[in-house]
Amino acid sequence: MVFPSGLVYDTKIEHYRTPEVNRVIARIAELSKGLGEIKKPDFSKFEEKSGLVPSAGVEPAQFPTGV
């Protein structure tokens, strides 16, 4: 059972609460604390690397035949 002591609604703060914390849920919350931090990708070298990809140009790309 996830909430053995039940689940109550606190009208003062408008949230659901439990009288006691489930040990499994508490452990999951403890382990996942650092997972909420989203790391933004580093685009500082984007322009430097994007020049390595050949563009298709105005004409459609031609693929080798016989493959």
Residue 16 domain-assigned (yes or no) = yes
- Euclidean distance between CA atoms 3 and 25, whole angstroms: 9
Would the pLDDT of 56 be above 70?
A: no
Residue 51 domain-assigned (yes or no) = no
> Global pTM?
0.36
Residue 23 domain-assigned (yes or no) = yes
Q: How many domains are contained in the chain?
A: 1
In DSSP notation, 2-67 reads: --TT--EEETTTTEEE-SS--HHHHHHHHHTGGGG-PPPP--TTHHHHHTTSPP--SSPP-PPS--
What's residue 53's pLDDT? 61
Domain that holds residue 28: 1-36
Structure confidence at residue 1 as a pLDDT band (50, 70, 90):
low
What's residue 57's pLDDT? 65
Would the pLDDT of 67 be above 60?
A: no
Would the pLDDT of 42 be above 80?
A: no
